[in-house]
Amino acid sequence: MTADAGFSHRLLGWYDRSARVLPWRVPPGSDAVPDPYAVWMAEVMLQQTTVAAVAGYFERFMTRWPTVGDLAAAEDADVMAAWAGLGYYTRARNLLACARAVVADHGGAFPDSEAGLRALPGVGDYTAASVAAIAFGRAAVVVDANIERVVARHRLILTPLPAAKRAVKAALAPLVPAARPGDFAQAMMDLGATICIPRSPACGICPLLADCRARGRDDIDRIPAKAPKKAKPQRHGLAHWIERDGKLWLVRRPDKGMLGGMRALPGGEWTAEAPRESGIVSVDHSFTHFDLRLTLVRRKVSDAAAEGEWWPISDLDAAGLPTLYRKLTDKMLERVA
């Protein structure tokens, strides 16, 4: 057996014993055929998002829209509301755009090649490779943050990310087996998520320890190296509580920018300066690249903008507000109660 074959043999052997049970996964050894729609749905939801956060959303989406045709026919607002709370809302718009492209341009069947998948909205290098491997058995080279870490350590690639990604992909390519490329990719990700974790990896139980070039190093927590993070600026904003007959005035945010396309409370721009006006309640919310203090102020019905909708306060859950606004309205209603 070659060294490369030994790698995948040990990895897949471990996976056969230790694979995580996940709602979107076909267990190793099963005769079940993966549903490309389900694989794609899971991969998009999992972009920069934890397994625990995705599970419930995946189940709800698959129940409500069981096929790509069902999703393609859905109302935009329904899909955005169903995505609320999961974050990175561009994904939800691209999810719909992709479903509609599959129906309109591919007869309702996902392309079965990496290149064909890569051309779809919201499908980048990672997602194209993972769907090609997991759903269609293609020997694609799948590289996510887990696999970057596993390979960077195993091959002792010390170049900082993101520049190291090219070297990681080159090192991984000859290791991908023709026989079970989908299980290979999932096994690498499981290994990175459960054993070869960012801090204090469990090297003692790693199936790849024997020839790991980072074995025994005291700096393994810092492999792969990453560029230092920038400080987050603080911003402030106002949100308007406009109430009439038990209903709240909601608007839809522009498609581009923060919380794009989502329902929201109306309000002004978010700026570096704190507002002079004192509000009813405030929430602090941390985004990826800035922190926000959002303050709720009451406004008159005559201040409602031209575009918007009156939403029953008793059914605010169904509005699909992003977490920022959900926190604010929860706090407001808690105060009233």
Partner DNA sequence: AACCCGTGGGT
Partner DNA sequence: TACCCAAGGGT
- 152 φψ region: left (φ > 0), alpha (ψ -120 to 50), beta (else): alpha
Of the residues 139, 157, 259, 283, which one makes contact with DNA according to CB under 7 A:
259
Q: Which of 98, 65, 100 is nearest to 79 (CA)?
A: 65
C-beta of 115: minimal distance to DNA in Å?
A: 13
By CB under 7 A, the residues from 194 to 213 that bind DNA are 198-199
Give yes or no: 334 in active site: no
Q: Which of 267, 266, 295, 298 is nearest to 281 (CA)?
A: 295
Amino acid at site 37: Y
Q: Two tokens at 64? A: 């409500």
25: contact with DNA by CB under 7 A: yes
Provide the greatest CA pair distance for the chain: 77
| Contact region with DNA (CB under 7 A), list: 16-24, 62-70, 241-249, 310-318 | 16-24
C-beta of 333: minimal distance to DNA in Å?
A: 17
Of the residues 88, 297, 308, 313, which one makes contact with DNA according to CB under 7 A:
88
d(CA 228, CA 242): 43
252: contact with DNA by CB under 7 A: no
Q: Do 176 and 3 contact (CB within 8 A), yes or no?
A: no
| Contact region with DNA (CB under 7 A), list: 127-135, 176-184, 238-246, 306-314 | 127-135
C-beta of 146: minimal distance to DNA in Å?
A: 4
Cβ proximity to DNA, 23 vs 246, nearer residue: 23
192: contact with DNA by CB under 7 A: yes
Q: Are strands 291-298 and 234-241 parallel, antiparallel or unpaired?
A: parallel
Of the residues 51, 203, 280, 297, which one makes contact with DNA according to CB under 7 A:
51
115: contact with DNA by CB under 7 A: no
- Tell me: cis bond preceding 198? Omega within 30 of 0 counts: no
60: contact with DNA by CB under 7 A: no
Strand ordering across the sheet containing 281-286? 234-241, 291-298, 281-286
Of the residues 15, 24, 57, 249, which one makes contact with DNA according to CB under 7 A:
24
Of the residues 38, 41, 43, 72, which one makes contact with DNA according to CB under 7 A:
43
| Burial bucket for residue 244 (CB in 10 Å: 0-12, 13-18, 19+) | exposed
SS3 171: helix
d(CA 142, CA 129): 5
By CB under 7 A, the residues from 266 to 285 that bind DNA are 285
C-beta of 1: minimal distance to DNA in Å?
A: 27
DSSP string, 23-84: TTPPPTT--PPP-HHHHHHHHHHTTTS-HHHHHHHHHHHHHHS-SHHHHHTS-HHHHHHHHT
| Contact region with DNA (CB under 7 A), list: 118-126, 208-216, 238-246, 306-314 | 118-126
By CB under 7 A, the residues from 149 to 168 that bind DNA are 149, 162-163
C-beta of 23: minimal distance to DNA in Å?
A: 9
> Could you list the residues that contact DNA (CB under 7 A)?
20, 22, 24-25, 42-43, 46-53, 84-90, 94, 121-128, 130, 144-146, 149, 162-163, 186, 189-190, 192-193, 198-199, 226-227, 229-230, 257-260, 285-289, 322-324
